[in-house]
């Protein structure tokens, strides 16, 4: 469908809507009342169909708004359903999670933070606030008490996955809750991922994600527009170029400005350098999980030149702070370009050798093929993004679907593989690294002269959606402004938010020796994978992360013995 056809298709649901606003060629807002929201969402997800991105809950003065954002990738259009919940005393709306599993987490989050009730949601446990957070205190509401004034409440709706420290530990089994112990919890208290197994096969998985919640969206409302990039680059250390990029795309959309060309190219180069070092990190970790420590050491060693380059350009190895509304803060000095090209040659050569070695190694084939498969249907149901999607045959990439920065001017291709297993995702990431090298080379050659920023005096009232392709997938930011110098609402969605729940689809039915590598294929943030534990439904024996890691590596050793092929050696790389 092209954009015209999409527009006419959307007309079909007009009877349920208050209005259709077309803010731009590729930005459509469908306004409706809360009662009709479920039907509209169902239509968009199933009939059109569109890909679900995220939902934003907003406390407007006279009502609550829930915005459901969808993407139509062939034309790069973002369709947002803006729902008004008029009843402020008891805000409630029909949940869309029953037919859209991708929305489960975000509805739980909106309930935690805004107090909106989602009727018929399959699993309304607390998601994002701590276990001891008092009930009835909703931090994202405008009238939320400041931290010091918060009343001490009794916590409730605790997740069933928990432990009462220090003596007892409760774990969730496939049947009733049984206490396992006694022992000293240490780092096993409150697991991040808890899997239930039957013998050696995983039957269920549960996740608890409050540890890294820092309340960034609320902090954003207290910062000025230009300070927010510095905040959001610290959402996650490895995606720290793409979050600010998505945010400034949103703000520049509101302001109706386009940064100068040189700035676009510099943004592209920094983003692609980050993609390279992030994929290298992933390759290293994946190698570590399956017992190829040479790969691990190699990958982390060849990350270093990339980090040094980023430090030369932006002043920091990891948090760049290079992007601002209207352009960039630092320029790439011309003297540096030969060195960048030289380092790129080295990285390209090593990555090509590694890719070839991976594609040829029968042990890696045996270890990773058919493991942790995420089918295309599940990939769509969970609305995954990035290499997780592209490795399952869903060829979406924001750089191609809705080109930002300089991607429209450069010649490169989207890498995707149909199989959906860990091997496919590894191949996607390796080949993408090579594509990134190509992109940077072209960008350096075509780097236009000129200023790297423009002055943006003020941000008018309005709302904007900004997207960027992070190494892990699509990063989406929604920003609303009322004409002041701070955002009134800023929603930041990292790609891992939709990728990690898909673990449920790819991990159930797998052997526990494959658990670490299956999770790694989704590429969550590093510290997430450390908090992994397995509960055996029958014998109550618990394996922790280290035991799972060992199982994973041993399986590789076993395969190695069976297949009898030589191992990848450091000298070969």
Partner 1 sequence: MSWKIWSLKKSVWVFHVNTGACNNCDIEVVDLLTPKFDVERFGIKLVGSPRHADALLVTGGVTAQAAPRLREIYRQTPKPCIVFCIGACACDKGIFTTGYHMVGPVDKIIKEIDPNAIIAYVPGCPPKPEAMISGVVKALSAL
Partner 2 sequence: MTITLQNLFWIIIFPGFLFTVAVGLVASWVVRKVSALVQWRVGPPLLQPLYDVVKLLGKETLVPQDAQQVVFKAAPLVALAGTLLLSTMLWRTAISQSAFVGDIIVAIYLMILPSLALIFGSSASASPHAAVGTAREMKLVMSYELPLVLAFIVVIIKTAALVEPDRQLDLAAIAQHAPALSISGMLAFLVALLCIQAKLGFVPFDIAEAETELGSGVLMEYSGALLAIWKLTQAMLLVALPMFLVMVFLGGFATSGWPLAWSIGKYVLILVLVILIKNTNPRVRIDQAMKFFWVYCGIALGIAVVLAIIGNYTGITWL
- Angle ∠(173,178,183) on CA atoms, nearest 5: 110
Q: Which of 65, 94, 117, 131 binds partner 1 (CB under 8 A)?
A: 131
Query: Residue 543: which of partner 2, partner 1, none does it interact with, CB under 5 to 8 A by kind?
Result: partner 2
CB of residue 386 vs partner 1: minimum separation in angstroms? 17
Q: Which of 546, 562, 563, 570 binds partner 2 (CB under 8 A)?
A: 546
Interface mask toward partner 2 for 278-307; x: CB under 8 A: -------------x-x--------------
Query: Residue 96: which of partner 1, partner 2, none does it interact with, CB under 5 to 8 A by kind?
Result: none
- For residues 293 and 271, what is the distance between their CA atoms, to the nearest angstrom? 28
45: which DSSP letter?
Answer: I
DSSP, collapsed to helix, strand or coil, labels residue 457 as coil
75: which DSSP letter?
Answer: T
CB of residue 532 vs partner 1: minimum separation in angstroms? 14
Q: Which of 60, 75, 318, 375 binds partner 1 (CB under 8 A)?
A: 318
**235 forms part of the interface with partner 1 (CB under 8 A):** yes
If you search the block for the tokens 């799972």, which residue do you land on?
548
Query: Which CB sits closer to partner 1, 180 or 230?
Result: 230
Q: Which of 317, 329, 381, 504 binds partner 1 (CB under 8 A)?
A: 317
**547 forms part of the interface with partner 1 (CB under 8 A):** no
**Which of 325, 309, 332 minimizes the C-alpha distance to 448?**
332
Query: Residue 195: which of partner 2, partner 1, none does it interact with, CB under 5 to 8 A by kind?
Result: none
CB of residue 566 vs partner 2: minimum separation in angstroms? 13
Residue 28 dihedral angles phi and psi, to the nearest 5°: -120, 135
CB of residue 212 vs partner 1: minimum separation in angstroms? 5
Query: Which CB sits closer to partner 2, 369 or 558?
Result: 558
**449 forms part of the interface with partner 2 (CB under 8 A):** no
- For residues 282 and 522, what is the distance between their CA atoms, to the nearest angstrom? 10
Query: Residue 182: which of partner 1, partner 2, none does it interact with, CB under 5 to 8 A by kind?
Result: partner 2
Interface mask toward partner 2 for 136-175; x: CB under 8 A: -------------------------------x--------
- Angle ∠(59,65,23) on CA atoms, nearest 5: 120
With a CB cutoff of 8 Å and minimum separation 6, the contacts of 335 are none
- For residues 546 and 534, what is the distance between their CA atoms, to the nearest angstrom? 11
Contact between 316 and 310 (Cβ < 8 Å): yes
Q: Which element (helix H / strand E) includes 481?
A: strand 473-481
**553 forms part of the interface with partner 2 (CB under 8 A):** yes
DSSP, collapsed to helix, strand or coil, labels residue 182 as coil
Show contacts with partner 1 in window 513-532 (CB under 8 A).
525-527, 530
Q: Which of 77, 140, 255, 549 binds partner 2 (CB under 8 A)?
A: 549
CB of residue 333 vs partner 2: minimum separation in angstroms? 34
What angle in degrees, to the nearest 10, is found between the helix axes of 515-522 and 422-445? 30
**180 forms part of the interface with partner 2 (CB under 8 A):** yes
CB of residue 385 vs partner 1: minimum separation in angstroms? 19
If you search the block for the tokens 């093929």, which residue do you land on?
369
DSSP, collapsed to helix, strand or coil, labels residue 335 as helix
**329 forms part of the interface with partner 1 (CB under 8 A):** no
- Stretch of residues binding partner 2 (CB under 8 A), selected from 218-226, 372-380, 488-496, 540-548: 540-548
Q: Burial level of 312, CB count in 10 A (0-12/13-18/19+)?
A: middle
Task: Identify the bridge partners of residue 274 per DSSP, sorted by sequence position.
Answer: none
Lookup: tokens for 97: 């999670």
49 alpha-carbon distance from chain centroid: 22
Q: Burial level of 142, CB count in 10 A (0-12/13-18/19+)?
A: exposed
Contacts with partner 2, residue ranges (CB under 8 A): 167, 180, 182-184, 291, 293, 541-544, 546-547, 549-550, 553-554, 557-558, 561
Contacts with partner 1, residue ranges (CB under 8 A): 129-133, 139, 144, 147, 165-166, 184-187, 189-190, 210-216, 218-219, 222, 230-231, 234-238, 240, 281, 297, 300-301, 316-319, 525-527, 530, 546
């Amino acid at each position: 469908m092209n954009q015209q056809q999409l527009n006419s298709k959307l007309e079909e649901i007009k009877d349920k809507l208050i209005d259709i606003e077309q803010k731009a060629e590729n930005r459509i807002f469908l306004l409706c009342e809360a009662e009709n929201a479920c039907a509209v969402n169902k239509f968009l997800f199933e009939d059109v169909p569109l890909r679900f991105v995220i939902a934003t809950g907003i406390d407007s003065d006279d009502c609550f708004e829930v915005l459901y954002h969808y993407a139509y990738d062939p034309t790069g259009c973002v369709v947002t359903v803006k729902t008004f919940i008029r009843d402020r005393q008891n805000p409630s709306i029909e949940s869309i999670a029953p037919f859209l599993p991708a929305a489960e987490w975000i509805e739980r989050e909106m309930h935690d933070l805004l107090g909106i009730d989602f009727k018929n949601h399959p699993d309304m446990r607390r998601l994002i606030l701590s276990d001891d957070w008092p009930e009835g205190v909703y931090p994202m509401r405008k009238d939320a008490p400041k931290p010091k004034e918060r009343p001490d409440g009794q916590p409730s709706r605790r997740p069933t996955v928990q432990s009462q420290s220090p003596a007892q530990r409760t774990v969730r089994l496939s049947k009733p809750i049984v206490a396992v112990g006694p022992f000293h919890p240490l780092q096993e208290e409150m697991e991040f991922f808890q899997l239930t197994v039957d013998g050696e096969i995983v039957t269920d998985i549960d996740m608890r994600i409050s540890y890294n919640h820092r309340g960034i969206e609320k902090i954003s409302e207290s910062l000025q527009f230009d300070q927010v990039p510095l905040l959001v680059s610290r959402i996650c250390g490895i995606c720290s170029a793409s979050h600010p990029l998505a945010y400034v795309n949103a703000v520049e959309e509101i302001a109706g400005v386009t940064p100068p060309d040189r700035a676009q190219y510099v943004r592209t180069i920094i983003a692609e350098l980050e993609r390279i070092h992030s994929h290298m990190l992933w390759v290293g970790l994946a190698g570590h999980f399956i017992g190829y420590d040479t790969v691990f050491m190699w990958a982390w060693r060849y990350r270093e030149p990339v980090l040094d380059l980023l430090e030369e350009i932006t002043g920091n190895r990891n948090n760049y702070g290079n992007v601002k509304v209207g352009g960039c803060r630092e320029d790439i000095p011309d003297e540096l370009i030969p060195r960048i090209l030289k380092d790129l040659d080295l990285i390209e050569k090593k990555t090509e050798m590694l890719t070839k070695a991976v594609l040829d190694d029968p042990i890696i084939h045996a270890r990773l093929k058919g493991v942790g498969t995420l089918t295309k249907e599940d990939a769509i149901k969970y609305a995954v993004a990035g290499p997780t999607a592209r490795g399952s045959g869903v060829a979406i990439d924001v750089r191609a679907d809705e080109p930002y920065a300089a991607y429209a001017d450069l010649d490169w291709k989207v890498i995707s593989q149909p199989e959906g297993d860990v091997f496919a995702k590894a191949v996607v990431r390796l080949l993408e690294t090579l594509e990134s090298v190509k992109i940077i080379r072209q960008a350096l050659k075509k780097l236009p002269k000129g200023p790297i920023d423009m002055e943006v005096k003020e941000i008018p009232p309005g709302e904007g959606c900004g997207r960027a392709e992070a190494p892990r997938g699509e990063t989406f930011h929604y920003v609303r402004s009322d004409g002041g110098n701070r955002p009134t609402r800023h929603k930041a969605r990292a790609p891992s938010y939709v990728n990690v729940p898909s673990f449920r689809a790819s991990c159930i039915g797998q052997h526990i020796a494959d658990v670490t590598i299956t999770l790694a294929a989704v590429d969550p943030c590093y510290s997430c994978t450390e908090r992994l534990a397995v509960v055996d439904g029958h014998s109550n024996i618990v394996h922790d992360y280290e035991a799972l890691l060992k199982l994973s590596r041993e399986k590789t050793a076993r395969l190695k013995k069976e297949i009898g092929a030589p191992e990848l050696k450091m000298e070969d790389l």
